[in-house]
């Protein structure tokens, strides 16, 4: 899906356009720290602008480009702790712990 024109600089990270938490988590676990760092460095400075753009629309009636942008920002949240705190894709010392989201806010 294409991004809004003002966010074309995030096109190289379109593979982070994932609609569900399990998809985003799996992508995080399959990614290297340099890959996540690169995505984070590109997307984090755009976060406030992305929120402002998406806030122009009703959540249940997002245009496709805004939905893609929202998914990228949800993926940004998924990589923020590994990049900022843990310095690894997995939660440290979590063993076999597992959490599963039962409902997405919007897909």
pLDDT by residue for the chain (107 residues), tens digit each? Answer: 699 999 999 999 999 999 999 999 999 999 999 999 999 999 999 999 999 999 999 999 999 999 999 999 999 999 998 888 766 776 655 555 556 666 666 66
- Residue 99 is predicted with a pLDDT of 60
State the pTM of this model. 0.82
CA distance 1 to 87: 30
């Amino acid at each position: 899906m294409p991004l809004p024109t003002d966010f074309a600089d995030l096109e190289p990270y379109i593979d982070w356009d994932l609609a569900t938490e399990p998809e985003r988590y799996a992508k995080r676990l399959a990614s290297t720290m340099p890959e996540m760092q690169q995505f984070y460095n590109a997307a984090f400075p755009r976060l406030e602008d992305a929120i402002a753009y998406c806030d122009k629309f009703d959540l249940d009636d997002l245009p496709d480009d805004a939905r893609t942008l929202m998914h990228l920002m949800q993926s940004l949240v998924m990589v923020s702790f590994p990049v900022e705190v843990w310095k690894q894709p997995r939660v440290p010392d979590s063993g076999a712990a597992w959490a599963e989201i039962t409902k997405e806010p919007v897909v």
